[in-house]
A = this chain, B = another copy of it.
Amino acid sequence: MPRTSSTAYALLGLLTIEPMSGYDLALVVRTSVGHIWSESYGQIYPTLRKLAVRGLVNRKTERHRSKPDRHVYSITTKGRKELTAWLAVPPQPEIPRNEMLLKLFLGAQASIDVLVANVERMVQEHGALLQKFKRIEHDEIDKNLQYPDAPFWKMTARYGQTEMEAHLKWAEETLEALRKIAKQQNSSLEARKEKNYARG
């Protein structure tokens, strides 16, 4: 097994929810765990094959008259064992690559307007996400607490909320600071202009 990649385990994990095809998995990744994990077709299909070869999943082919065949994968006992072992390994830390923050870090090279626009865009997006996470928690998780997965899904939904709230709080503070800087720049610009008028 490769050293670093957790793609195989992620797919294995999602197959504990229910047996699925590659197409289904891509859908689940996009719509359900999309804010936690991403995975593309180019990864999913080959990885499923490899998992089948290793006996961690079973593959069943559903034939239809007209549509192309569906390959439905289900996790095996062996697969469950490997998954559980992986879950016990301390999670790999995320490699940090936050372009928004980098651009702010280099803010002295940009105009304040641009920085303000970036932060305001973030407020829009993360505000919407906050609402979405709340909705998911109340409408989809809290109403299905009988399922054994539900408490854990709730925790991840709560994580998203807490983080988005933090980002919004920070954005407010930051916008204030940016506007203060803009004012200073304007006033020193004014000062220079007056000087020039006096001179000219």
Contact = CB atoms under 8 A, between A and B. Distances in A.
* A-side interface size class: 35 or more
B98 A36 contact: yes
B16 A108 contact: yes
Contacts of A107: 87, 149, 151-152, 155
Contacts of A110: 84, 87-88
Contacts of A165: 166
Contacts of A83: 106, 109
Given A151-B177, A158-B174, A165-B166, A99 B108 contact: no
A181 B151 contact: yes
A197 interface: no
A200 interface: no
Interface in A86-111: 87-88, 90-111
B99 A92 contact: yes
A127 to B, nearest CB: 15
Contacts of A46: none
Interface of A: 6, 10, 13, 16, 33-38, 80, 83-84, 87-88, 90-111, 114, 117-118, 121, 125, 148-149, 151-156, 158-159, 162-163, 165-167, 169-170, 173-174, 177, 181
